[in-house]
Amino acid sequence: MSNVYDFSAKDRMGNEVSLKDYEGKVLLIVNTATGCGFTPHYDPLEAMYKEFRDQGFEILDFPCNQFADQAPGSDDEIHQFCTVKFGTEFPQFSKIDVNGETAHPLFAWLASEKPFNGFGKGLKNAALNKYAAANNKKYGDKTYIGWNFTKFLIDREGNVVARFEPTENMDNVKAAVAAAL
């Protein structure tokens, strides 16, 4: 695969969507969960989406339940939670796996383009690293994503230009998106 447009995924209604539909846009692809300590990231994500969508920006939301069962609901339940609690309007896809033998090929590719480099420094990050390592041990060499709310920034040509772990300050994510636009 040469860029993100070579992939497709099912939307929350089960329809296959080619990521080529987003060609020419700046994308932020995120694996999410409704019961995670990082779930409040939906607020700055939605604010970013509202601010930048008219400039060719899209957020693609991929719920995932592989991290401590923090997204246990159906696609409809997850969508309802996100729209009611956070007012999300950006595209939400069907729940997927991002690690292991059943990982969606998109996330395996994203992680091969920008591999995991740790959660950063500090006590909170060290604690997450320990918990994530225990959780992800079962995926071995097919551990592509460290935790929920990992974000990949894609440029208008479909190339991965940045990876942001969930511990990254959302102001830094916003600045990178603005620069890509």
User: Rounded CA gap, 56 and 146, in Å?
Assistant: 28
DSSP letter (8 states) at residue 95: P
Higher per-residue confidence, 164 vs 132: 164
pLDDT (0 to 100) of residue 6: 96
Query: What's the one-letter identity of residue 8?
Result: S
- E-strand ranges in the chain read 8-10, 16-18, 26-32, 57-63, 151-154, 160-164
Mean of per-residue pLDDT scores for the chain: 94
Q: What angle do CA 95, 100, 102 make, to 5 degrees?
A: 50
pLDDT tops 80 at residue 122 = no
Confidence band, pLDDT 50/70/90 cuts, at residue 120: confident
pLDDT tops 90 at residue 9 = yes
pLDDT (0 to 100) of residue 1: 57
Widest distance between CA atoms in the chain: 42
Q: Is 83 left (phi over 0), alpha (psi -120 to 50) or beta?
A: alpha
36 given a catalytic annotation = yes
3-state helix, strand, coil in the chain (%, to 5): 40, 20, 40
Domain boundaries, the chain: 4-180
**DSSP SS3 for 178:** helix
The CATH number assigned to the domain with range 4-180 reads 3.40.30.10
pLDDT tops 80 at residue 12 = yes
The pTM of the full predicted model, rounded to 2 decimals, is 0.94
Question: Quick one: average pLDDT of 77-87?
Answer: 94
pLDDT tops 80 at residue 123 = no
Confidence band, pLDDT 50/70/90 cuts, at residue 8: very high
- Tens of pLDDT, residue by residue over 13-61, are 999 999 999 999 999 999 999 999 899 999 999 999 999 999 999 999 9
Q: Which of 4, 36, 170, 176 is catalytic?
A: 36
